Amino acid sequence: MTETTTDLTTLPPGPAIKGKLSRDDIVMRGGMIVIALYLVVTLALPLYVMLSKSFSTYRFELSQYEMQVSDQDGVFDGTVLNPADLNAAVGAFDSADLSTGSDGRLPVSKLFPDFNFRSPVMYQIRNAQPGGRFLVGSTLHDEDTWLELDSNSFRRVQLRPMKFTGLDNFSNYFSTPALFNSIKNSLFIAVISTVITATLAFWFAYALNRSCMRFKGAFRLIAMAPILVPSLLPGIALVYLFGNQGMLKELLFGASIYGPIGIIIGSVFFTFPHAFLIISTALAISDARLYEAAVSLRASPWRTFWTVTIPSARYGLISAGFVVFNLVITDFGLPKVIGGQFNMLAVDIYKQVIGQQNFEMGAVVSVVLIVPAIFAFALDRYVQSKQVATLSSRSVPFQPSPDAKMDRIFLIYSSLVGVFIIGILAVCQFAALIKFWPYDLSLSLNNYQFDRMDGGGWASYYNSIKLGLLTAVIGTSVIFFGAYLVEKSNGFRVGRSLFQMIAMLPMAIPGMVLGLAYIFFFNNPANPLNWIYGTMAILVISAVTHFYTVSHLTAVTALKQMDREFESVSSSLKQPTLKLFSRVTVPVCLPAVLDISIYLFVNAMTTVSAVVFLYSPKTSLASIAVLNMDDAGDIAPAAAMGMMIFYTNAAARILHLIASKGILRRTQAWRAR
């Protein structure tokens, strides 16, 4: 025997054992790659195209062309003219005329002051450098041979611009006060709304979690109501309340609701449930033992509040703040309806794209909007990752004890918040049923005759339901299956963490930006997926992608609670993983699956920003109809349609509740002991 001893501190050299892939491994990796590709095609690529658009500028390069002019007899003397020199001499176009968009066209005949389309003079034109292009009528010429044209044809010669990459669009943006002021406006509105919403929601959640006041269940329901309506609906209510002919106009003492005040009040309304949910969760998990310790140390309630309650809820508060900030700064519907002359970033994108057809500038504003959105998103993720670490499994839930005086104060406070929320909805419903505010207050259903207004009529309402259902079914299947693959497959670590990262991205991308990116990406005739542009498919895809992250996180949370050895047991029993998935995983996770589907349905029904660039006359949607009818001055029908969305979503929620209870009773008998 040799005396050498094995070195136990280092691996012996050689390749690591490479596992043979089972059929399941291959199926699961394949599935994961397919879903990752879906996200790349519907998210990463469009965003990339949009980003590159924001750096693209188009300019007419006159020096790229050469021309010749004949005498009155049509004889050329061989003199070659450069259009740039001609322009310098004639001054037909200044430099602003020469910078244009991707669709720009420049008529060259203007370079010849004595041009007349009836004259017998002949012209020749050619591209002097490769890459130059010009149109004769609608025929494109990019060859460098001379083309001879008579005057009448030369009239129809138009130069096409060259594409350049650079920061011109951005310098343009930042030198236009009307545009970059929006940054200030957006930040201002978002910060103020965040502070107000977080404060209101905190005390509301506090009342529900930490007091013994009555009607808690009802208040919880009311607090969640705004989630069921499009964000622009509170705007319409505010117009009725405080607008030029508003019921309570005097309360504003001459200030106008059209502008910051209206946007902030509306933002508080539509972001309230989001903040309330997050803060309520944070308050619900507080540890009773800390309060017992505080009492035994004779700390005053005030001191206990600041040393126990606030610190334990601070991550919830911060998280709620970021979520509200993000919602407000990326929202489009509300400032569109009630913003008046007050410009905000999301509305700017809309104005640039729809109003001015300046897609490049739209892309620039989008990039500007992404920055704070991603910033808030990243901070929120960071804060949430810290919160997990503060949870202790030994915590004892806090049980509030009755305090007549405080309970009454909380009841009054909660009632005020409740009146605000119900009030906004009631005003909308009232507005929808009034014949002609404020002159004819008799009730009628005239405003529900959507087919007589702009906006697509009842068809858009049915389209919305179709979109909601398709998004719920397709989205839930794709997202839950994707989460399963990434959570429960073996090895493939790099691929899985990459997938997780891509799945987090949609949350950081504002709907408007996603929509605009889709225009650039899918409306390109060279894209093989071009055919989905203008169909229901692109609306479903944009909705699924836009709401991917929250659904993915819900699915992952549910899957994490499943015993991670189920897959090991199943493979040791030589059963396909897909059998385990359908027989065990899906049934056990059914509550989460149902939650995801109702989340997708409600959001697809209410979203405006994700679809406003993508709908076609055939696929108009209810939320878009609200926007367009309001735009056209049909505010009452807009309110009526908005309330239709509310009732539909409320019904869907109730149906979801009944269905999940029924399904749970049938398929989850094992839960009962």
Partner 1 sequence: MPLVSQISQIIPAVYGGLGRDVSARAHSADRRTNLVTQATASGDLYLSITNLWKAFGDFLALKDISLDINEGEFICFLGPSGCGKTTLLRAIAGLDLQTRGQVFQDGKDVSNLPPSERDFGIVFQSYALFPNLTIEKNIAFGLENTGRSKPEITARVAELLQLVGLPEQGKKYPAQLSGGQQQRIALARAIATNPGLLLLDEPLSALDAKVRVHLRHEIKELQRKLGVTTVMVTHDQEEALTMADRIVVMNQGVIEQVGSPTEIYREPANLFVAGFIGEMNQIDSSVASGGKLSLGSENYACISHKFATGSPVIAAIRPEDIIPHEAGFVPDAQNSDCIEVMLREMEFLGSFWRCHLHSDRFGASELIADFSINAVRRLELGEGKAMVVELPENRLMAFARPEAV
**Interface residue list for partner 1 (CB under 8 A):** 1-6, 8-9, 11-12, 14, 16-25, 490, 563, 565-566, 568-576, 579, 583-584, 587-588, 667-671, 673
Rounded Cα distance, 157 and 69, in Å: 14
Q: What kind and span of H or E run contains 603?
A: helix 590-606
Shortest Cβ 37–partner 1 spacing (Å):
25
Q: What share of the chain is helix, strand, coil (3-state, %, to 5)?
A: 65, 5, 25
Closest to partner 1 by CB, 411 vs 589, is 589
* Contact between 83 and 95 (Cβ < 8 Å): no
> Between helices 536-546 and 511-522, what is the axis angle to 10°?
140
- From residue 665, alpha-carbon distances to 659, 668, 669 in Å are 10, 6, 6
CB of 586 to partner 1, least distance (A): 10
Comparing CA positions, the residue from 339, 329, 335 lying closest to residue 368 is: 329
Give the Cα separation of 487 and 515 in Å (integer). Answer: 30
Question: Which of 56, 4, 142 has its CA nearest to residue 367?
Answer: 56
Residues in CB range of 158: below 8 A, 6 or more apart: 105, 106, 107, 108, 134, 135
Structure tokens that stand for 666 in this block = 């049938």
Q: Which residues pair with 56 in a beta bridge?
A: 165
Q: Which residue stretches of 40-133 are H helix?
A: 45-54, 83-90, 95-98
- Cβ atoms of 636 and 432 within 8 Å: the answer is yes
Residue 22 CB, nearest approach to partner 1 (Å): 4
Residue for token digits 């001015």?
Answer: 356
Q: At closest approach, how far in Å is the CB of 583 from partner 1?
A: 7
Q: How many helices (H) and strands (E) does the chain have?
A: 28, 12
- If you search the block for the tokens 């029924």, which residue do you land on? 662
Q: Which is nearer to partner 1, 139 or 572 (CB)?
A: 572
* Minimum distance from residue 592 beta carbon to partner 1 (Å): 14
Q: Report the nearest approach of partner 1 to the CB of residue 494 (Å).
A: 14
Q: Judging by DSSP bridges, how do beta strands 122-127 and 65-69 pair with one another?
A: antiparallel
Least distance to partner 1, CB of residue 4, Å: 7
Least Cβ distance, residue 671 to partner 1 (angstroms): 7
| Residue 32 Cβ vs partner 1, minimum distance, rounded to whole Å | 17
